[in-house]
Amino acid sequence: MEKDVAVLGVGAHPWGKFPGKDFVDLAVTAANEAFKDAGMGWKDIQAMVCAETVWSGKSGLYAGQFVSRALGSTGIPAVNIQNGCASGAVALAVAAMMIKSGMCDIALAIGGDVSPEGFLPALAGEDPLSPDSLRFTAIGATNPVHWALDCRRRMEEYGTTETHLAKVKVKNSRYGSSNPLARYRKVFTLEEVLNSAVVCYPLRLYEICATSDGGGAVILSSMDMARRYTSRPVTLAAATLGNLVYGDPTVVIGSHVAYKVNSSVPMASEVVQSSRKAYEKAGIGPEELDFAELPDNSSWHELMYMEALGFCGPGEAEHLLDDGATELGGRLPINVSGGFASFGEAVAAQGLLQVYEIVRQLREQAGPRQVQGAKVGFGQVYGAQGNAGTVIVKR
């Protein structure tokens, strides 16, 4: 029988642009918030798993060593994780494994990131053999191009309209407006979104997440240890991982410019993999979730992921959106944190930010964004090259 794992504390540095602060500063702030939240200190942490940042040079690849040194070199293990935009969730999953295995009783999953301005560039630089450079040099395909291609097909197949895409942003901006951690607090109207510049048709400026700086930290512990700190610990019901399946029809960022499609493989297969494992592990199906945090890198993502995650059938996401089912008070509120639409992405930290929101919701600490009576929260992130992490937390 696997040991249960508790989420003892969560912390975050606000999302935005903070000239003069590096990823270590952001991670340390998040860690200190998490220590305060859990009622413990850095010296109580027995192991840490740190999401790497690729935007901070080689020091970003040793993020765990930099962050642990800044917190104080206590000698605990510090593992570095690189899974692109899914890194935060992967760090959490590895920290959970450390506790389940008995390696330690208290572990910290952490990540801080300082993103470049504008489009995220190729990681391989000018390497002509890397498909991640090829797509920039030979095609001019920035990340949103990939999303726009799949979104155009969705419009053709399911009748998704530009208004649907704008509605996602309007909904998420309403929640982001009351989230003190969010970078963008403005409540957008449909007209404002629909009149914003086209970045890559059909996706507009306000429908694509910005590149932000931010930090997140989550403290996990064994249940026995958790009871020393709180009488009502929340439980990490699942933290599962997935990877791309051969034949996936999705236009995946960074892995290839030409690829084989197999009609029996679903879109976002990496997310299908991780989420189905999470439902099984938690013994909780998508119909039992009280709210979900999805990676809305663009408005299209939120709609597509609702289906990939089994929240609804193919082509039904727009109906749920139109019916208000994904709003606060609806059947399954989505991105009540404000989502990436209000935060922007901070690659190494966003998976942990989702857990922050989920835990605050489960403890009824979300203020005007509170999902009433929330008992089960869900988080999903995906990373470049096709990898994914799913988190389910329950009260």
Q: How crowded is the C-beta side of 232, counted as CA atoms within 13 Å? A: 8
CA triple 233-182-149, angle to 5 deg: 105
Residue 152 near other proteins by CB under 8 A: yes
Q: How many residues bind other proteins (CB under 8 A)?
A: 21
Binding to other proteins (CB under 8 A): which residues in 158-217? 200
H or E element, residue 368? none
Select from 89, 93, 251, 271 the one that contacts other proteins (CB under 8 A). Answer: 251
Q: Does residue 90 contact residue 351 with C-beta atoms inside 8 Å?
A: yes
The pair of three-digit structure tokens given for residue 165, joined into one six-digit string: 């895409």
Residue 259 near other proteins by CB under 8 A: yes
CB atoms within 10 A of CB 163: 14
- Report how far Cα 121 is from the mean position of its chain's Cα atoms: 20
Residue 141 near other proteins by CB under 8 A: yes
The pair of three-digit structure tokens given for residue 31, joined into one six-digit string: 């860690």
Select from 20, 102, 116, 140 the one that contacts other proteins (CB under 8 A). Answer: 140
Residue 119 near other proteins by CB under 8 A: no
* Amino acid code (one letter) for 242: G
- Among the listed ranges 256-264, 268-276, 346-354, 387-395, the one in contact with other proteins (CB under 8 A) is 256-264
- Among the listed ranges 65-73, 145-153, 167-175, 217-225, the one in contact with other proteins (CB under 8 A) is 145-153
Residue with smaller CB distance to other proteins, 200 or 309: 200
Residue 124 near other proteins by CB under 8 A: no
Select from 21, 153, 277, 281 the one that contacts other proteins (CB under 8 A). Answer: 153
Residue 257 near other proteins by CB under 8 A: yes
Q: Give the SS3 label for residue 281.
A: helix
Select from 249, 266, 286, 315 the one that contacts other proteins (CB under 8 A). Answer: 249
| Residues 41-80, mask of contacts with other proteins (x by CB under 8 A) | ----------------------------------------
Q: Give the SS3 label for residue 111.
A: strand
CA triple 63-351-97, angle to 5 deg: 75
Name every residue whose Cβ is closer than 8 Å to that of residue 295 and which is 6 or more positions away in sequence. Answer: 85, 301, 305, 340, 345, 350, 380, 381, 382
Residue with smaller CB distance to other proteins, 150 or 213: 150
| Binding positions for other proteins, rule: CB under 8 A | 135, 137-141, 145, 149, 152-153, 156, 200, 249, 251, 257-263
